[in-house]
């Protein structure tokens, strides 16, 4: 079974709208991270939230973490065409030396 | 800005051949990783490496895979006898963090095509 599962698998919105992506996981974590991947490129770290944090902001990004529900959300405000990419959540389980990635959400921003 | 570099960007090989994928992690980083991504699918963990030994490996990382840091700068992934299902994008990553896994810096990947 997968540690991180994202919802929705695909999201298409108009430029300027907000985009929300959700991630659920199964086991206790040290931290949860969000990454972005443009088609055919490497993954780029966006934000890290620790298990004792509930919310974090970075520019137009807002991440929340609910450890009781084992879920996280990534909000991108005022979306731009350049935000079109796949977004992955990744978890670090307690005691592990690896990131485990979810399936990702493919976000398309229509101009 | 420091970056992780990977070579080759694309390699085509025949089934059964050996392949070596190379990575140069960021110089002050301590942890090194290999991940793979089959086209359009999830990013799968293969192996983590610290202090010249494997820290953790996945079920995918069987006896046909090996990793090495031969000269203090390169970090290589060897696939001894490639199979069709090894066709994927392979990503190297490095991290400065000791203890808890922090931000990973990824290379642009090496696309492996096994015919």
Give mean pLDDT, residues B63-90.
Answer: 94
pLDDT over 70 at A38, yes or no: yes
Strands (E), chain A: 4-7, 10-14, 19-25, 29-37, 43-50, 55-58, 61-66, 71-76, 85-93, 100-101, 105-110
B108 in contact with chain A, both atoms CB, cutoff 8 A: yes
What is the Cα–Cα distance from A19 to A29, expressed in whole angstroms?
25
Is B104 in Cβ contact with A43 (below 8 Å)? Answer: yes
Give A77→chain B minimum CA distance, Å.
23
pLDDT reported for residue B101 = 87
Give mean pLDDT, residues A98-111.
Answer: 94
Residue of chain A minimizing CA distance to B55: A97
**What is chain A's length?**
111
pLDDT over 80 at B42, yes or no: yes
Give mean pLDDT, residues B25-50.
Answer: 93
pLDDT over 70 at B96, yes or no: yes
In three-state secondary structure terms, B68 is strand
Give mean pLDDT, residues A25-45.
Answer: 94
Q: Which one, of B45, B11, B16, lies nearest residue B31 by Cα? A: B45
Give mean pLDDT, residues B46-61.
Answer: 94
Is B101 in Cβ contact with A98 (below 8 Å)? Answer: yes
B5: chain A residues, CB-CB within 8 Å: none
Give mean pLDDT, residues B71-83.
Answer: 93
- Which DSSP string do the residues of B15-61 spell out, in sequence order? TT--EEEEEE--TT--EEEEEEE-TTS-EEEEEEEETTEEEEE-TT-
pLDDT reported for residue A3 = 65
Is B42 in Cβ contact with A102 (below 8 Å)? Answer: yes
B104: chain A residues, CB-CB within 8 Å: 33, 43, 45, 99
**Residue-averaged pLDDT of chain A:** 93
As given in the structure block, the two tokens for residue B74 are 């390169």
Give mean pLDDT, residues B66-76.
Answer: 91
Q: How confident is the model at residue A1 (pLDDT cuts 50, 70, 90)?
A: very low
- What count of CB pairs under 8 Å joins A to B? 63
A83 φ, ψ (degrees, to nearest 5): -80, -10
Q: How confident is the model at residue A97 (pLDDT cuts 50, 70, 90)?
A: confident
What is the Cα–Cα distance from A46 to A58, expressed in whole angstroms?
8
Give mean pLDDT, residues B92-113.
Answer: 91
pLDDT over 70 at B11, yes or no: yes
A34-43, A61-70, B26-35, B96-105 — which is least confidently predicted?
A: B96-105
């Amino acid at each position: 079974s997968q540690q991180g599962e994202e919802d929705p698998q695909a999201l298409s919105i108009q430029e300027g709208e907000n985009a929300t992506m959700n991630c659920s996981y199964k086991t206790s974590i040290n931290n949860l991270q969000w990454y972005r991947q443009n088609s055919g490129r490497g993954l780029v770290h966006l934000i890290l939230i620790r298990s004792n944090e509930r919310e974090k902001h970075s520019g137009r990004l807002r991440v929340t973490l609910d450890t009781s529900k084992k879920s996280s959300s990534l909000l991108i405000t005022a979306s731009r065409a350049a935000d079109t990419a796949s977004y992955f959540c990744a978890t670090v389980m307690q005691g592990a030396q690896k990131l485990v990635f979810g399936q990702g959400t493919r976000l398309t921003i229509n101009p | 800005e420091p970056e992780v570099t990977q070579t080759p960007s694309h390699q085509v090989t025949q089934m059964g051949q050996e392949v070596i994928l190379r990575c140069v992690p960021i110089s002050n980083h301590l942890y090194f990783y290999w991940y793979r991504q089959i086209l359009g699918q999830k990013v799968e963990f293969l192996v983590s490496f610290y202090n010249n030994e494997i820290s953790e490996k996945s079920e995918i990382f069987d006896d046909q895979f090996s990793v090495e840091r031969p000269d203090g700068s390169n970090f290589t992934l060897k696939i001894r006898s490639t199979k069709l299902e090894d066709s994927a994008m392979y990503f190297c990553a490095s991290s400065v963090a000791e203890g808890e896994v922090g931000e990973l810096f990824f290379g642009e990947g090496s696309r492996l095509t096994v015919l």
